[in-house]
Homo-oligomer: A and B are copies of this chain.
Protein backbone atom coordinates (compact mmCIF):
# COMPACT_ATOMS: atom_id res chain seq x y z
CA UNK A 1 0.00 0.00 0.00
CA UNK A 2 2.89 2.35 0.77
CA UNK A 3 4.33 1.87 -2.71
CA UNK A 4 0.98 2.76 -4.22
CA UNK A 5 0.78 5.97 -2.21
CA UNK A 6 4.28 6.99 -3.31
CA UNK A 7 3.45 6.25 -6.96
CA UNK A 8 0.19 8.16 -6.63
CA UNK A 9 2.00 11.19 -5.22
CA UNK A 10 4.71 11.06 -7.90
CA UNK A 11 2.01 10.93 -10.55
CA UNK A 12 0.11 13.82 -8.96
CA UNK A 13 3.30 15.89 -8.83
CA UNK A 14 4.07 15.22 -12.49
CA UNK A 15 0.50 16.00 -13.58
CA UNK A 16 0.40 19.20 -11.51
CA UNK A 17 3.71 20.38 -12.97
CA UNK A 18 2.50 19.76 -16.52
CA UNK A 19 -0.50 21.93 -15.60
CA UNK A 20 1.73 24.67 -14.20
CA UNK A 21 3.87 24.69 -17.35
CA UNK A 22 0.87 24.84 -19.70
CA UNK A 23 -0.79 27.60 -17.65
CA UNK A 24 2.40 29.66 -17.54
CA UNK A 25 2.82 29.34 -21.29
CA UNK A 26 -0.62 30.98 -21.51
CA UNK A 27 0.56 33.73 -19.13
CA UNK A 28 -2.12 33.00 -16.55
CA UNK A 29 -2.01 34.63 -13.12
CA UNK A 30 -1.28 32.77 -9.86
CA UNK A 31 -4.88 31.64 -9.42
CA UNK A 32 -5.14 30.39 -13.00
CA UNK A 33 -1.91 28.43 -12.65
CA UNK A 34 -3.13 26.79 -9.44
CA UNK A 35 -6.48 25.83 -10.97
CA UNK A 36 -4.88 24.35 -14.09
CA UNK A 37 -2.40 22.38 -11.94
CA UNK A 38 -5.29 21.12 -9.84
CA UNK A 39 -7.50 20.19 -12.76
CA UNK A 40 -4.69 18.40 -14.57
CA UNK A 41 -3.91 16.35 -11.48
CA UNK A 42 -7.43 15.42 -10.38
CA UNK A 43 -9.57 15.99 -13.50
CA UNK A 44 -9.39 12.45 -14.85
CA UNK A 45 -10.25 10.88 -11.50
CA UNK A 46 -13.06 13.36 -10.94
CA UNK A 47 -14.66 12.56 -14.30
CA UNK A 48 -14.29 8.84 -13.52
CA UNK A 49 -15.96 9.22 -10.12
CA UNK A 50 -18.84 11.29 -11.55
CA UNK A 51 -19.43 8.82 -14.40
CA UNK A 52 -19.50 5.75 -12.15
CA UNK A 53 -21.36 7.52 -9.38
CA UNK A 54 -18.66 7.40 -6.69
CA UNK A 55 -17.93 10.24 -4.26
CA UNK A 56 -15.15 12.39 -5.71
CA UNK A 57 -11.83 11.17 -4.25
CA UNK A 58 -9.89 14.39 -3.73
CA UNK A 59 -12.71 15.99 -1.77
CA UNK A 60 -12.36 13.42 1.00
CA UNK A 61 -8.58 13.20 1.05
CA UNK A 62 -6.54 16.35 1.62
CA UNK A 63 -3.29 14.65 0.58
CA UNK A 64 -3.94 15.54 -3.06
CA UNK A 65 -4.74 19.16 -2.27
CA UNK A 66 -1.56 19.56 -0.24
CA UNK A 67 0.64 17.84 -2.81
CA UNK A 68 -0.78 19.95 -5.64
CA UNK A 69 -0.51 23.19 -3.67
CA UNK A 70 3.13 22.61 -2.72
CA UNK A 71 4.01 21.36 -6.20
CA UNK A 72 2.48 24.42 -7.82
CA UNK A 73 4.31 26.87 -5.59
CA UNK A 74 7.66 25.09 -5.95
CA UNK A 75 7.23 24.64 -9.72
CA UNK A 76 6.26 28.28 -10.28
CA UNK A 77 9.22 29.51 -8.23
CA UNK A 78 11.80 27.23 -9.81
CA UNK A 79 10.27 27.04 -13.27
CA UNK A 80 13.54 27.85 -15.00
CA UNK A 81 15.10 24.78 -13.35
CA UNK A 82 12.32 22.38 -14.41
CA UNK A 83 14.06 21.67 -17.68
CA UNK A 84 16.71 19.70 -15.79
CA UNK A 85 14.00 17.45 -14.36
CA UNK A 86 12.47 16.67 -17.77
CA UNK A 87 13.38 13.00 -17.66
CA UNK A 88 12.23 12.49 -14.08
CA UNK A 89 8.97 14.30 -14.76
CA UNK A 90 8.35 12.18 -17.83
CA UNK A 91 8.98 9.07 -15.74
CA UNK A 92 6.67 10.22 -12.91
CA UNK A 93 3.98 11.09 -15.44
CA UNK A 94 4.30 7.65 -16.99
CA UNK A 95 4.13 5.95 -13.58
CA UNK A 96 1.06 8.08 -12.90
CA UNK A 97 -0.89 7.01 -15.97
CA UNK A 98 0.03 3.38 -15.31
CA UNK A 99 -1.33 3.57 -11.80
CA UNK A 100 -4.44 5.61 -12.66
CA UNK A 101 -5.37 3.31 -15.51
CA UNK A 102 -5.36 0.23 -13.30
CA UNK A 103 -7.05 1.96 -10.34
CA UNK A 104 -9.76 3.23 -12.71
CA UNK A 105 -10.29 -0.25 -14.11
CA UNK A 106 -10.64 -1.74 -10.65
CA UNK A 107 -13.18 0.88 -9.59
CA UNK A 108 -15.21 0.20 -12.73
CA UNK A 109 -15.03 -3.57 -12.15
CA UNK A 110 -16.25 -3.06 -8.57
CA UNK A 111 -19.62 -1.81 -9.84
CA UNK A 112 -19.92 -4.62 -12.39
CA UNK A 113 -19.27 -2.75 -15.63
CA UNK A 114 -18.34 -4.80 -18.73
CA UNK A 115 -14.59 -5.10 -19.56
CA UNK A 116 -14.64 -2.75 -22.59
CA UNK A 117 -16.18 -0.02 -20.45
CA UNK A 118 -13.72 -0.67 -17.62
CA UNK A 119 -10.81 -0.16 -20.03
CA UNK A 120 -12.43 3.07 -21.25
CA UNK A 121 -12.91 4.31 -17.67
CA UNK A 122 -9.30 3.43 -16.80
CA UNK A 123 -7.96 5.25 -19.85
CA UNK A 124 -10.15 8.24 -19.09
CA UNK A 125 -8.91 8.37 -15.46
CA UNK A 126 -5.35 8.55 -16.72
CA UNK A 127 -5.80 10.88 -19.69
CA UNK A 128 -8.66 13.28 -19.14
CA UNK A 129 -6.90 15.50 -16.61
CA UNK A 130 -4.69 16.52 -19.52
CA UNK A 131 -7.69 16.89 -21.82
CA UNK A 132 -9.45 19.28 -19.41
CA UNK A 133 -6.14 21.16 -18.92
CA UNK A 134 -5.87 21.72 -22.67
CA UNK A 135 -9.51 22.77 -23.04
CA UNK A 136 -9.17 25.33 -20.22
CA UNK A 137 -6.05 26.62 -21.97
CA UNK A 138 -7.94 26.87 -25.25
CA UNK A 139 -5.91 24.19 -27.06
CA UNK A 140 -6.94 21.05 -28.90
CA UNK A 141 -6.05 18.29 -26.42
CA UNK A 142 -2.53 17.13 -27.18
CA UNK A 143 -3.37 13.45 -26.64
CA UNK A 144 -5.81 13.62 -29.56
CA UNK A 145 -3.06 14.70 -31.91
CA UNK A 146 0.11 12.84 -31.17
CA UNK A 147 2.04 10.52 -28.90
CA UNK A 148 1.22 7.02 -27.80
CA UNK A 149 -0.37 7.98 -24.50
CA UNK A 150 -3.96 6.84 -24.36
CA UNK A 151 -2.96 3.85 -26.48
CA UNK A 152 -0.57 2.72 -23.74
CA UNK A 153 -3.44 2.90 -21.24
CA UNK A 154 -5.70 0.88 -23.52
CA UNK A 155 -2.97 -1.77 -23.98
CA UNK A 156 -2.53 -2.03 -20.22
CA UNK A 157 -6.29 -2.22 -19.76
CA UNK A 158 -6.67 -5.04 -22.26
CA UNK A 159 -3.78 -6.95 -20.67
CA UNK A 160 -5.56 -6.59 -17.30
CA UNK A 161 -8.51 -8.61 -18.54
CA UNK A 162 -6.30 -11.11 -20.37
CA UNK A 163 -4.42 -11.73 -17.12
CA UNK A 164 -7.66 -12.10 -15.18
CA UNK A 165 -8.84 -14.62 -17.79
CA UNK A 166 -5.56 -16.50 -17.33
CA UNK A 167 -6.45 -16.87 -13.67
CA UNK A 168 -3.70 -14.69 -12.16
CA UNK A 169 -4.26 -13.15 -8.72
CA UNK A 170 -5.53 -9.59 -8.48
CA UNK A 171 -2.25 -8.26 -7.11
CA UNK A 172 -0.16 -9.76 -9.90
CA UNK A 173 -2.67 -8.56 -12.50
CA UNK A 174 -2.58 -5.07 -11.02
CA UNK A 175 1.20 -4.88 -11.16
CA UNK A 176 1.73 -6.45 -14.59
CA UNK A 177 -0.94 -4.41 -16.38
CA UNK A 178 0.36 -1.20 -14.76
CA UNK A 179 3.84 -2.13 -15.97
CA UNK A 180 2.44 -2.77 -19.47
CA UNK A 181 1.15 0.82 -19.59
CA UNK A 182 4.50 2.19 -18.41
CA UNK A 183 6.59 0.04 -20.77
CA UNK A 184 4.33 0.77 -23.75
CA UNK A 185 4.75 4.50 -23.22
CA UNK A 186 8.49 4.31 -22.58
CA UNK A 187 9.08 2.17 -25.68
CA UNK A 188 6.86 4.41 -27.79
CA UNK A 189 8.84 7.49 -26.81
CA UNK A 190 12.23 5.77 -27.14
CA UNK A 191 11.39 4.45 -30.62
CA UNK A 192 9.38 7.54 -31.56
CA UNK A 193 6.28 5.53 -32.36
CA UNK A 194 3.08 7.30 -33.34
CA UNK A 195 -0.38 6.07 -34.13
CA UNK A 196 -0.71 5.35 -37.86
CA UNK A 197 -2.02 8.44 -39.59
CA UNK A 198 -5.31 8.07 -41.39
CA UNK A 199 -4.37 10.87 -43.74
CA UNK A 200 -2.65 10.47 -47.07
CA UNK A 201 0.89 11.68 -47.81
CA UNK A 202 -0.31 14.54 -49.93
CA UNK A 203 -2.68 15.87 -47.32
CA UNK A 204 0.11 15.63 -44.76
CA UNK A 205 2.26 18.08 -46.67
CA UNK A 206 -0.51 20.68 -46.62
CA UNK A 207 -0.59 20.67 -42.87
CA UNK A 208 0.24 23.88 -41.13
CA UNK A 209 3.24 23.40 -38.82
Contacts and interface: CB of A to CB of B under 8 A. Distances in A.
A117 B66 CA distance: 11
Given A29-B145, A136-B141, A117 B59 contact: yes
A136 B138 contact: no
Given A29-B197, A30-B198, A195-B29, A65 B140 contact: no
A196 interface: yes
Contacts of A51: 46, 50, 56, 59
A9 interface: no
A121 to B, nearest CB: 8
Nearest to A128: B35
Interface stretch (A19-27, A81-89, A184-192): A19-27
B32 A143 contact: yes
This chain's copy number in the assembly: 3
Interface residues of A, number: 53
A55 B53 contact: yes
A16 interface: no
Given A56-B51, A76-B198, A135-B135, A29 B117 contact: no
Contacts of A138: 138-140
Contacts of A141: 32, 136
Interface in A80-107: none
A144 to B, nearest CB: 3
A136 B143 contact: no
A145 B143 CA distance: 25
Interface in A144-183: 144-146, 150-151
Contacts of A131: 136
Contacts of A36: 144
A141 B138 CA distance: 9
Interface of A: 23-24, 26-33, 35-36, 46, 50-53, 55-56, 58-60, 62, 65, 76, 79, 113-114, 116-117, 120-121, 131, 135-141, 143-146, 150-151, 194-199, 207
